[in-house]
């Protein structure tokens, strides 16, 4: 029996919505849960439209869904209105009213589902925020996207307390992005701080190999003052310099123990990791790992030879 990929998708993903593919377009999809409360997912779909019709809205779900366009323009139809979202833009929709969202091209979206009660508590005019396009230049929306990307890249703590903090941050950032008149209270401050810190750390990680990386340069990239960035770094438990040095030292260590890196000069490894002062690199490396870069490389080579010898001594071992 020939499988129906759309039907499989419906069974795996869509108890809350359905999908109408564009005629003659090959169907494909990927679906990645990022957080379960509030529910945050990343979906990649072939040309077509996600929708909730009159039958589906009878499921009793009355929450609010924030859809963020990640790749191409999206056509949104909901509550008697039609809106087109550009990449990086977002819109809030209510689950108890029919609507559809999609594109005639392959598209990627983030979708965040907030309970109606939490939405109404935090929004001073909850109805006014629905079906209002949120521009990609919205500071709150960019913070929300950065926070989601951070959660997507790293497995955050699974303790009840950590999950509750993440939940509050996500809901506050959704409301801040969706309405100019939020009623989120003091908790929004911690959400913004967490999002700004994650964004700064992501930028540092992406540019750590650049010897010119500085506190001032990162602050400019994030649209904040160097003093505020310094405060954010203190909240993370390490100064800017200590955090950058740690990332660079870890990079250098990996380069030294990787087989393909063993032929590189120590000075080349230091430069590739982002250090411009070789003597400074050597001092930091020994203090961090208890051995010189040459010593670590020598141990790595010896371990590699031992592994080869062990393997040759057991030719029947699976490879």
Residue 147 and residue 70 in contact, taking contact as beta carbons nearer than 8 Å: no
- Is 29 contained in some domain? yes
Rounded mean pLDDT of the chain? 83
Choosing from 107, 134, 161, the residue where a domain stops is 134
Please give the Cα distance from 259 to 244 (Å, whole number): 25
In a domain, 32, yes or no: yes
Q: What is the helix (H) or strand (E) element at residue 230, kind and residue range?
A: helix 226-236
CATH code at 293?
Answer: 1.10.10.60
Q: For residue 43, is it within any domain?
A: yes
Last residue within a domain, chosen from 112, 134, 156: 134
- Asked whether residue 17 is domain-assigned, the answer is yes
Neighbours of 42 (CB within 10 A): 18
pLDDT tens track for 30-86 = 888 888 878 898 999 999 999 988 988 888 888 899 999 999 999 999 988 999 999
H helix count then E strand count, the chain: 11, 10
Alpha-carbon distance of 254 to 275, in angstroms, equals: 15
- Choosing from 134, 159, 186, the residue where a domain stops is 134
**Residue 303 domain-assigned (yes or no):** yes
Domain total in the chain: 2
Give tens-digit pLDDT for 166-191: 888 888 888 888 876 554 444 556 78
Q: Say if 75 falls within a structural domain.
A: yes
- 297 lies in which domain range? 245-312
pTM, two decimals, is 0.71
């Amino acid at each position: 029996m020939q499988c129906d990929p759309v039907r499989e998708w419906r069974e795996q993903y869509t108890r809350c919505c359905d999908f109408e593919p564009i005629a003659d377009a090959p169907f494909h999809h990927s679906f990645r849960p990022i957080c379960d409360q509030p529910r945050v997912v990343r979906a990649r779909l072939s040309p077509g439209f996600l929708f909730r019709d009159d039958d589906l809205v009878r499921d009793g779900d009355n929450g609010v869904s924030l859809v963020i366009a990640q790749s191409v323009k999206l056509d949104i139809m909901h509550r008697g209105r039609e809106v087109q979202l550009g990449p990086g833009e977002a819109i809030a929709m209510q689950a108890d009213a029919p609507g559809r969202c999609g594109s005639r091209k392959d598209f990627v979206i983030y979708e965040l589902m907030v309970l109606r009660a939490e939405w109404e508590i935090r929004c001073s005019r909850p109805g006014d925020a629905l079906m209002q396009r949120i521009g990609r230049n919205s500071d709150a929306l960019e913070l929300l996207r950065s926070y989601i990307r951070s959660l997507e890249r790293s497995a955050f703590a699974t303790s009840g307390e950590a999950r509750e903090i993440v939940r509050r941050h996500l809901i506050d950032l959704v409301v801040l992005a969706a309405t100019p008149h939020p009623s989120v209270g003091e908790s929004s401050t911690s959400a913004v701080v967490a999002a700004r810190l994650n964004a700064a750390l992501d930028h540092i990680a992406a540019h750590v190999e650049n010897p010119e990386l500085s506190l001032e340069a990162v602050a400019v990239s994030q649209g904040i003052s160097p003093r505020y960035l310094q405060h954010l770094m203190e909240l993370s438990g390490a100064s800017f310099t200590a955090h950058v040095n740690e990332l660079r030292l870890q990079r250098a260590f990996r380069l030294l123990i990787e087989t393909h890196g063993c032929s590189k000069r120590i000075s080349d490894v230091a430069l590739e990791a982002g250090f411009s002062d070789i003597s400074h690199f050597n001092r930091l490396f020994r203090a961090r790992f208890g051995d010189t870069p040459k010593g670590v490389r020598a141990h790595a080579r010896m371990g590699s030879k031992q592994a080869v010898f062990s393997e040759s001594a057991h030719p029947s071992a699976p490879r």
